[in-house]
A and B are shown apart, each in its own frame.
Chain A
C-alpha cells in the first residue's frame, strides 16, 4: 500500500467529538462524470467533466422546485430544522474529519440557504438574517464536495427530534447536481453499466457462468459435495438476487458459497439470473426515482420469465433497503397492489412468504425448522462481532417484528459460532455507525474520507479486539465488505478479519450429497 497522502486518525479507545476545523475536508472530491456517462443515465453533461451546462442556475432552481413539490420529506425538512444541534456530533464523517460542513445540519444548510433565498418569504426579503444565499458556482462546488461526503446512512435521522433525514437532502442535492451536468463519475458510471449489461461490474453472461462453474469446482474439492450455483434455470422455487461483488471479490464469494450450501442442504431449488444478477441499485444514491425504478425492473422481468415462487436478496445493505422498502412501490414485488401491474406478480409468488426475503431471514427460518445441521466448532478459530449495516439498520427490516433486522442476523451467527460479542451498545442497532463507504463513496478518489469516516466503527471494533480477542467482523453488506477490507489495514488490522455472515454459515454447515430427489 502506498503511503496515504493524509493523516490517518489514531485509535484512542473512545469515540471523541472533535473541535470544529473549518474546511478540513473541503479538498476531498471525487472525479466528476463526463458527458457520455451522464447521458447514459438520462442527465446532461457539460463540455468537460464537472462543467455546468448552459442555463444551469435556472435549471437547478427549477429542479429544486420540482423536487420540493414531489417529495414531502424535502419540503418538510427544509422548513422544520431549528438548528438545535442534536445531530451535530452524530455523523461519522464529522467525527473523523472535524469539518463542520460534515455535521448533518450544516450539510442540509448548504441546500437550505438556497431554498430560503428562492422559496421563502424571509429569505427573499431578509437574506442575511436567516442565512439565505444565492445559488452560485461556489455553492454548487460545496454541494458536490459535501454531498459526496455523506454515505446516506441516516444515522442523523435517528437523533433529530423531527426525524430530519440528511440522506433525503443529499439525494436531492445530487439529483440537482446531475441535472446541471455535475454528476459523479463513480456512481453514474455504475448505474449506466447496470442498465446496459445487467450488473454493476459490467460482467457479461458467459463470464458469469464461467465464474460460477469455477466456484462449484472449488466447493466440490473442498467438501466432496456437489453444491450447485444454477444460472437462468426456469421453474425453480427461488430467484436469488445478490450484489455482483459476490461473484468474484474476496471475501464476498465466501458468502455466495454459503447461500448455495444453504439451498443445497435444505433441498430448495433456486437460480441466479444473468439479466438480474445485481441486487445493488445505485439509483438510490443519486435520488433518481426513474433510475432506481429502471434498475429494479430487471428483477421483476427475471422473476416473471423464470416463473419463480420466491425472491431472496443476498448480503447487501442499500440493495436490501431498496428491495424491502421500495420494490413494492417501484415494481410491485410485495403484496397489496391492486393494479394489473402487481397482480400479475402476486399470482405467481408464493403468498406464504414475504416478498422479497433477506437471505438471513431465509436461513434463520430453515434453522428454526431444523432443516440445517451445523458443527459450530468449525468456527472455533473465530471470535466474532457483528456490524449492523446502516441501510439495513435504519432503512429496512427483516422478519415480522420491528427491529427484526437487528435480531435475525445475530441469531444466524449464534447458530453457527460459539464465540460472539457485540460491540458497544450505542454503536450498534439503530445507532450503528456506517462503514464509511456507503452511498456512492466507495471509490479510490475518496479514500481519505472513507478512512476517516470509518473511525467510529474502528474504535468500537478495536475495543472488542482488545477486550474480548475478537478477530472477525461479520457483515451483511457488499459495500461494508469492500470498504472494510480496504480500510482496516490503515488502522492496523488484517483484512482477513472481515467477512460475511454466510461465510460463517458456510464454514459450519454440514452437507450431504443430494442425489436426484
Chain B
C-alpha cells in the first residue's frame, strides 16, 4: 500500500472523528443549556407544528434572510442549494449500488458546482465592496470562503478539465468505510480537493460553521409562543420558587 493511500486514509479517519466528536460536544452543550425565558421573535407560531413549519422555511428557503437583504439571500441560497446538490451527487462515491435518486441527481449536481462557485464569489465580493460588511469581516471569514472556493474549483477541475480515476477513488472510499484500504490515485488535483475537504471537516466544529446546528437551537426561532398557557421554567430558576409562596399566607 502506498504511503499516500495510508496518509489520506489516516487524514480522513482523523477528520471524521473530529467532525463527529466536535459536533457532538457542541450539540450536547446547546441541548443541555436551558432557555430560561420565552423569547420567540413574534409573530411566532402558537403550536409545535407551527414551529416546525417556521423552522423548515428558515432552513429550506432562508426566509428571514430574504426579508433582510436580497443580494445576500441570492448568493447565500445559491451557494447552499448548490452545495446540497453537489453533496448528494457525491453519495455515489460512498454507495454501491448507487441509489436511483442519486443517479437521477447526477447532472444537476455536476452543474451545480458552477452555481456554488458563483454564489461563493458573490458572497466574497460583498466582503470587499460593501463598507459595512468589510468592517465586520475577519481573516477567518475570508479564509473560509477561500477554502470553499478551493474545494469547488478543484472539484470542477476534475469534472470538466482533468478527469481523475473515479473508479479508484470510489474503491478507496468504499474500502475506507469497512477498514479495507484500496489505493488512492496520486492525482494532484484530487489530492488538493480531498485535503481541503478534510480541513473543512476539522474546522467545522470550531468555527462559525456551527450556524448549521445552531439554527435548530436558536430560542427566538424554535420556541412556541404559548407563555400565557404554559409555565416555562428552567431547572436553575425553580430554586427561587421553593418556600416563596405568598406573603399573605
Cα A395 to Cα B44 with chains together (Å)? 9
B-chain residues with CB within 8 Å of residue A400 when the two chains form the complex: 46
Asked whether B2 is an interface residue with its Cβ less than 8 Å from the other chain, the reply is no
> A75, A87, A304, A342 — which one has the most chain B CB atoms within 10 A of its CB?
A75
- B218/A164 in contact, CB under 8 A: yes
Contact between A157 and B37 (Cβ–Cβ < 8 Å)? no
Inter-chain contact B132/A85, CB cutoff 8 Å: yes
Number of interface residues of A (CB under 8 A): 88
A328 to B240, CA, bound (A): 14
> Beta-carbon contacts of A162-206 to B below 8 Å, as 1s and 0s?
111100100000000000000000000000000000000000000
Of A125-133, A250-258, A376-384, A464-472, which stretch is located at the interface? A125-133
Q: Which chain A residues border B219 with CB–CB below 8 Å?
A: 72-73, 76, 163
Q: How far, in angstroms, from A328 to B62 measured CA to CA in the complex?
A: 32
Choose the segment among A221-229, A332-340, A408-416 that binds chain B (4+ C-beta atoms closer than 8 Å).
Answer: A332-340
With contacts A80-B210, A129-B138, A165-B41 taken as known, whether A70 is within 8 angstroms of B218 at the C-beta atoms is: no
Q: From B210, which residue of chain A is reached at the shortest CB distance?
A: A79
Within 8 A of B (CB), among A299-339: 300-301, 304-305, 324-326, 328-329, 332, 334-339
B118 on interface, CB distance cutoff 8 Å: no
Known A79-B208, A120-B206, A325-B227: A85·B72 in contact at CB below 8 Å: yes
CB–CB B34/A20 < 8 A: no
Q: Which of chain A's residues has its CB closest to B58's CB?
A: A161
Tell me whether B229 and A334 are in contact (CB under 8 A). yes
Q: Is the CB of A402 within 8 A of B43?
A: yes
Known: A324-B227, A324-B228. A289 touches B237 (CB 8 A): yes
Q: Is A109 part of the contact surface with B, judged by Cβ < 8 Å?
A: yes
Binds B, one of A98-106, A140-148, A438-446, A506-514: A98-106
The contact string, 1 if C-beta is below 8 Å from chain A, for chain B 123-166, is 10010001111011111110100000000000000000000000
B236 proximity list for chain A (CB < 8 A) = 70
A117 at the interface (CB under 8 A from B): no
CB of B211 within 8 A of CB of A82, answer: yes
Q: Are A163 and B221 in contact (CB under 8 A)?
A: yes
Docked complex Cα distance between A76 and B222 (Å): 12
CA distance A405 to B237 in the complex (A): 28
* Smallest CB separation, A306 vs chain B (Å): 10
Contacts of B141 in A (CB 8 A): 82-83
A154→B225 CA distance, assembly (Å): 16
Residue interface mask B28-42, A partner, CB < 8 A = 1: 011001111111011
Q: Does B113 contact A (CB under 8 A)?
A: no
* B131 / chain A contacts, CB cutoff of 8 Å: 19-20
Interchain CA distance A19-B206 in the complex, whole Å? 33
**Nearest residue, chain B, Cβ from A131:** B138
Q: Which residues of A contact B76 (CB under 8 A)?
A: 84, 161
User: A162-B221, A289-B36, A328-B227 given as contacts; is B211 within 8 A of A80 (CB)?
Assistant: yes
Compute how far the CA of A165 lies from the CA of B132 in the bound complex, rounded to whole angstroms.
Answer: 19
B37 to chain A minimum Cβ distance, whole angstroms, is 6
Q: Are B220 and A165 in contact (CB under 8 A)?
A: yes
Decide yes or no whether B241 CB sits under 8 A from chain A: yes
Is the beta-carbon distance between B135 and A103 smaller than 8 angstroms?
Answer: yes
Q: B35 and A72: CB pair below 8 A?
A: yes
- Alpha-carbon gap, A162 to B139, bound state (A): 22
Interface contact B231-A342, CB-CB below 8 Å: yes
Bound complex: CA A122 to CA B22 (Å): 13
Q: List B contacts of A163 (CB < 8 A).
A: 41, 58, 64, 215, 218-221
CB of A267 closer than 8 Å to a CB of B: no
Q: Nearest Cβ distance between residue B11 and chain A, in whole angstroms?
A: 19
Name, among B26, B207, B218, the residue most crowded by chain A CB atoms within 10 Å (CB to CB): B218
CA distance A130 to B133 in the complex (A): 15
Q: Is B230 in contact with A159, judged by CB distance below 8 angstroms?
A: no
Closest to A88 in B: B132
Q: Which residue of B lies closest to A338 (CB)?
A: B231
Query: Could you give 26 example pairs across A and B, Cβ below 8 Å?
Result: A73-B39, A75-B33, A76-B214, A84-B72, A88-B136, A103-B135, A106-B135, A106-B136, A122-B140, A122-B206, A129-B143, A130-B139, A162-B215, A163-B41, A163-B218, A297-B244, A328-B227, A328-B231, A329-B227, A334-B229, A355-B228, A356-B228, A394-B41, A397-B44, A397-B225, A402-B43
Given contacts A80-B211, A338-B231, could you give 4 more A-B pairs where the C-beta distance is less than 8 Å?
A: A159-B69, A163-B220, A164-B220, A341-B245
- Counting from the closest, the 3 A-B pairs by CB-CB distance are A80-B214, A159-B68, A337-B231
Hey, which bits of chain A sit against chain B, CB under 8 A?
17, 19-20, 22, 68-73, 75-77, 79-90, 100, 103, 105-106, 109, 120-122, 128-131, 154, 157-165, 168, 289-290, 293, 297, 300-301, 304-305, 324-326, 328-329, 332, 334-342, 344, 354-356, 393-397, 400-403, 405-406, 430-431
